[in-house]
């Protein structure tokens, strides 16, 4: 079994907590790529990404951090991955960790409305039994502050909506995959 990074919450009570989803997902990617040897703080991630406090970020910032921490060889970026390939990647029990930029309007919290953009990670591998058709999601905004099983279709839909709103090719989205040590990148 591949190393699973420790879940990290962006809900830390600071004034920047609502801008830290990409920071926490990036830190979880670094954790995964280093098998727990490196787990950077919010400040370290922002410094290495060259992003000031309380600013948003995304996949390219995560790539910059992984590179500066010497972990780029464990990461693979795919521009405009087709929906079917993304589905296959997420459901395959590989233990790889995928970062997605998503649109969670109405899904972050049913009581909240607005046009939210949000970074998450997915631990690749379809659930078994009651979790069939679901994947394990590290959503740093979760109130329960833990990984949760989410329908793979909902995860893909949120990623595709973000991609559509940001001008990606129809039916595709950008994907950053980290392969934890012990698995072939």
Q: Give pLDDT tens digits for 75-120.
A: 999 999 999 999 999 999 999 999 999 987 645 555 555 667 899 9
Asked if residue 178 lies in contact with residue 33, where contact means CB atoms within 8 angstroms, the answer is yes
Residue 67 has φ and ψ, to the nearest 5°, of: -65, -50
Q: What does pTM read for this prediction?
A: 0.94
17-178 carries CATH number 3.90.70.10: yes
Region label for 35, one of left (φ > 0), alpha (ψ between -120 and 50) or beta (otherwise): left
Locate the domains of the chain by residue range: 17-178
């Amino acid at each position: 079994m591949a190393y699973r990074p420790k879940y990290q919450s962006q809900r830390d009570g600071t004034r920047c907590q609502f801008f830290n989803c990409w920071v926490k997902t990036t830190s979880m990617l670094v954790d995964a790529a280093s098998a727990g040897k490196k787990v950077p703080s919010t400040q370290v991630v922002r410094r290495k990404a060259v992003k000031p406090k309380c600013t948003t970020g995304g996949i390219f910032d995560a790539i910059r951090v992984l590179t500066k921490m010497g972990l780029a060889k464990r990461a693979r970026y795919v521009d405009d991955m087709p929906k079917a390939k993304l589905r296959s990647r997420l459901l395959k029990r590989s233990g790889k960790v995928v970062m997605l930029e998503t649109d969670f309007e109405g899904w972050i919290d049913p009581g909240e409305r607005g046009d939210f953009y949000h970074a998450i990670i997915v631990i690749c591998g379809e659930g078994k039994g009651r979790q069939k058709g679901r994947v394990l999601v590290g959503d740093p905004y979760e109130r329960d502050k833990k990984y949760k099983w989410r329908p793979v279709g909902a995860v893909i839909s949120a990623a595709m909506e973000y991609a559509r709103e940001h001008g990606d090719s129809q039916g595709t989205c950008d994907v950053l995959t980290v392969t934890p040590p012990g698995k072939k990148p």
